[in-house]
Amino acid sequence: MSESLHIVCPHCHVTNRVASERLSAPPGTVQMDCGRCHRPLFAGEPAVLDEGSFVRHVERSHIPVVVDFWAPWCGPCRTMAPAFAQAARTLEPSVRLAKLDTEAHPAIGARHAIRSIPTMVMFRQGREVARISGALGAADIARWVRTAGGA
Ligand code: ZN
Ligand code: ZN
């Protein structure tokens, strides 16, 4: 029985409907492109969000969304960036990884009470289900996401 899931495009942020079995296929075996911008729905890299696209991804995605709250002046954030990108390649397409620059978009950080960075927050169906602060390596990011029920 096929179920259709809402997947938000990481490029143009429009909501696509994708059959659930396509998401459970081995990574890299199924090409899924956005119906509007025709770019890959899963590009093996974190989506870069602003206020508007943050709300779209968090509220509309049927898969968990893990947001890395970071800032350009934060050394540990910059150190973690390649590990977070590597975790995206490991965890997609069962999870969406995304980044929110708290310096460029402070309202989102304030709304979610981000007190230190980097902080990763997992959202499901618009609600926060887990968070962790401090820089992690790729394997620890993937482990935390799976333990939190994200993959
Ligand atoms: Zn698109
Ligand atoms: Zn902004």
> How far is it, in rounded angstroms, from Cα 142 to Cα 12?
26
Q: Note the pLDDT tens digit of each residue in 39-78.
A: 999 999 999 999 999 999 999 999 999 999 999 999 999 9
Handedness of CA 47, 65, 27, 86 (dihedral sign): positive
Classify domain 44-147 at the CATH topology level.
Answer: Glutaredoxin (3.40.30)
CA–centroid distance, 86 to ligand 1, in Å, is 22
Ligand nearest to the CA of 106: 2
Q: Note the pLDDT tens digit of each residue in 85-117.
A: 999 999 999 999 999 999 999 999 999 999 999
Helix axes 75-91, 138-147, angle to 10 degrees: 60
> How far is it, in rounded angstroms, from Cα 32 to Cα 124?
22
| Residues lying with their CB under 5 A of ligand 2, a single-atom ion | 51, 105
φ, ψ for residue 124, nearest 5 deg? -130, 125
Query: Catalytic site residues?
Result: 74, 77
- Residues 36, 12: contact at Cβ < 8 Å? yes
Going by the DSSP 8-state scheme, the letter that residue 33 receives in this structure is B
> Across all residues in the chain, what is the average pLDDT?
94
CA–centroid distance, 63 to ligand 1, in Å, is 17
- Residues 4, 17: contact at Cβ < 8 Å? yes
CA–centroid distance, 109 to ligand 2, in Å, is 10
Cis peptide bond upstream of 93, omega within 30: yes
Handedness of CA 87, 92, 95, 96 (dihedral sign): positive
Ligand nearest to the CA of 9: 1
pTM of the model: 0.94
CA–centroid distance, 126 to ligand 2, in Å, is 19
The SS3 assignment for 5 reads: strand
CA–centroid distance, 16 to ligand 1, in Å, is 8
